[in-house]
């Protein structure tokens, strides 16, 4: 038991260390904070990643081992005490209990004492077992036996949580997935490996929306998605913060967002039209910001000089990083040679979605702004086991403290015309409530006119 307490305190101390020393920071940060020597110490003991370090895991394993040993040891004794308790014991053992009484009575025999006491105890909710051996009669009364299992269940539950956690670490997976509006993805980038992981189905983003209140503070981040498998629509739903979507054991969480790009519509003076798409997200190359098109044999070049997600105009230009009002600052030219020289371009200015501007007879309109969502993807087969562990630990703690076990032993021996009665409560279950029960039993046996000695 002392090992358990020591291990508990060691794990507590180690865990504290991981919160005081910044985890997974860069070498420069450590040297700046702790100096060269401090950094060397941190590296050699792996204090920069305490919770995944070998010695921390070893501590947890030792704790788990200790728990397992205690759990196995306790099981048979708890079982026996619940289902097959010893009723006949040496009266001297009862005397050794902290709150025991011993006295003699002349009027009643041992059997009568026991049969007087039994109904009183039963009425007070005890499970009463009696037995006789020669001239001695015994009672073993117990209440709240379920409480005996409390500590056992609590310890077992911690082991269950450990097992669930380990399964999650070895068989689970986490990663992220970035999808632009109108597009789908059937894989995600795992945190632990560098190549994409196939889902087996595809997630299509219909729309991404941020809801705001009157002060333009976000109240919800919503990804409207569809799950498709084998070409068929399987699920349609909204992924919001605190409301993940779970499909086939894989959970998708709303994590982040951004501005993906713009779609520009061009109409030439003669009536010809074209669509131009610009990508902004990091996966695209900068060249994506410059696009050239040909309408009716003539060439037109467009360049996204600047883009903001939340255009408010004026000096500030952009208010927040939420794509509430995407806008772009476009440059345009129809002179081929001048594309290399910034002076040859005409600045159209900031266009919000729906705005258009004219250039040499061309009408250029910002038709659409496309946002992308970033979803956190997680698969954890150990999760149900961890949840069972959670339920068990709550049950175990509750049983340990609020379903108290109360035990009472009575031994009555017929001896030379008088009855010697010994009565006691084993150490663990002695408390005020049991004392009340003892009083009632003593009254039932009527101790008024007899010697009372401890």
**Which residues would be at the binding site for other proteins (CB under 8 A)?**
1-2, 4-5, 8-9, 11-12, 15-16, 18-20, 23, 50-51, 151, 165, 174, 213, 215, 217-221, 240-244, 251, 253, 376-378, 383, 386-387, 390, 393-394, 397-398, 401-402, 428
Residue 116 CB, nearest approach to other proteins (Å):
32
**Residue with smaller CB distance to other proteins, 87 or 383:** 383
Q: ∠ CA 210-322-24 to the nearest 5 degrees? A: 105
Residue 74 CB, nearest approach to other proteins (Å):
11
Residue 179 CB, nearest approach to other proteins (Å):
17
**Residue with smaller CB distance to other proteins, 51 or 275:** 51
- Asked if 296 and 270 touch (Cβ cutoff 8 Å), the reply is yes
Instruction: Give all strands of the β-sheet with 418-425 in edge-to-edge order.
Output: 127-133, 136-143, 406-415, 418-425, 99-105, 452-453
**Residue with smaller CB distance to other proteins, 244 or 344:** 244
**Residue with smaller CB distance to other proteins, 315 or 432:** 432
Distance CA 76, CA 407 (A): 19
Q: Render the burial of 5-16: b for 16+ CB within 10 Å, e for the rest.
A: eebeeeeeebee
**Residue with smaller CB distance to other proteins, 399 or 442:** 399
Question: Residue 119 burial (CB < 10 Å; 0-12/13-18/19+)?
Answer: exposed
3-state class of 377 per DSSP? Answer: strand
Q: Find, among 133, 129, 151, the residue nearest to 141 by Cα.
A: 129
Residue 65 CB, nearest approach to other proteins (Å):
17
Alpha-carbon dihedral angle through residues 142, 146, 149, 153, given to the nearest 10 degrees: -170
Residue 121 CB, nearest approach to other proteins (Å):
25
**Residue with smaller CB distance to other proteins, 15 or 306:** 15
Residue 248 CB, nearest approach to other proteins (Å):
16
- Asked if 120 and 392 touch (Cβ cutoff 8 Å), the reply is no
The DSSP 8-state label assigned to residue 315 in this structure reads T
**Residue with smaller CB distance to other proteins, 274 or 383:** 383
Residue 9 CB, nearest approach to other proteins (Å):
6
Residue 109 CB, nearest approach to other proteins (Å):
39
Q: Find, among 360, 274, 369, 355, the residue nearest to 322 by Cα.
A: 369
Distance CA 227, CA 202 (A): 6
**Residue with smaller CB distance to other proteins, 41 or 394:** 394
- Asked if 228 and 210 touch (Cβ cutoff 8 Å), the reply is no
Residue 307 CB, nearest approach to other proteins (Å):
25
- Asked if 348 and 141 touch (Cβ cutoff 8 Å), the reply is no
Residues with Cβ within 8 Å of 114's Cβ and at least 6 positions away in sequence, in order, are: 130, 137, 138, 139, 410, 412
């Amino acid at each position: 038991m002392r090992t358990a307490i020591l291990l508990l305190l060691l794990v507590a101390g180690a865990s504290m260390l991981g919160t005081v020393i910044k985890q997974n920071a860069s070498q420069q940060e450590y040297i700046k904070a702790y100096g060269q020597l401090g950094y060397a110490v941190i590296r050699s003991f792996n204090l920069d990643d305490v919770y995944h370090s070998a010695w921390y895991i070893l501590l947890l394993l030792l704790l788990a081992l200790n728990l397992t040993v205690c759990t196995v040891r306790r099981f048979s004794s708890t079982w026996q005490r619940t289902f097959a308790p010893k009723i006949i014991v040496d009266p001297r053992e009862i005397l050794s209990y902290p709150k025991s009484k011993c006295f003699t009575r002349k009027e009643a025999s041992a059997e009568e004492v026991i049969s007087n006491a039994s109904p009183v105890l039963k009425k007070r909710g005890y499970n009463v077992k009696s037995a006789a051996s020669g001239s001695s009669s015994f009672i073993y009364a117990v209440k709240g036996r379920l409480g005996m299992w409390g500590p056992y269940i609590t310890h077992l539950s911690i082991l269950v949580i450990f097992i669930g956690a380990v399964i999650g670490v070895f068989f689970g997976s986490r990663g992220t997935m970035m999808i632009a509006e109108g597009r789908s993805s059937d894989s995600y980038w795992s945190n632990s490996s560098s190549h994409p992981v196939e889902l087996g189905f595809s997630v299509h983003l219909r729309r991404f929306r941020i809801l705001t209140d009157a002060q333009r503070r976000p109240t919800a981040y919503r990804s409207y998605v569809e799950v498709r498998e084998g070409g068929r629509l399987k699920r349609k739903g909204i992924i919001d913060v605190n409301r993940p979507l779970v499909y086939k054991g894989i959970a998708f969480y709303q994590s982040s967002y951004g501005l993906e790009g713009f779609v520009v519509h061009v109409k030439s003076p003669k009536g010809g039209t074209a669509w131009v798409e610009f990508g902004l997200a990091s996966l695209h190359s900068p060249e994506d910001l410059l696009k050239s098109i040909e309408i009716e044999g003539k060439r037109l070049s467009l360049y996204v000089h600047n883009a903001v997600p939340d255009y408010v105009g004026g000096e500030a230009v952009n208010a927040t990083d939420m794509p509430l009002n995407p806008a772009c600052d476009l440059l345009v030219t129809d002179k081929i040679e001048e594309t290399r020289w910034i002076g040859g371009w005409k600045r159209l200015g900031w266009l919000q979605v729906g705005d258009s501007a004219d250039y040499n007879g061309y009408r250029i309109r910002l038709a659409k702004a496309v946002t992308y969502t970033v979803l956190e993807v997680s698969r954890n087969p150990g999760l149900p086991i961890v949840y069972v562990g959670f339920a068990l630990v709550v049950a175990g703690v509750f049983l340990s403290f609020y379903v108290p076990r109360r035990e009472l032993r009575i031994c009555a021996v017929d001896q030379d015309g008088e009855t010697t009665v010994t009565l006691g409560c084993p150490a663990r279950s002695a408390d005020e409530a049991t004392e009340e029960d003892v009083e009632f039993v003593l009254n039932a046996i009527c101790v008024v006119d007899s010697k009372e000695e401890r």
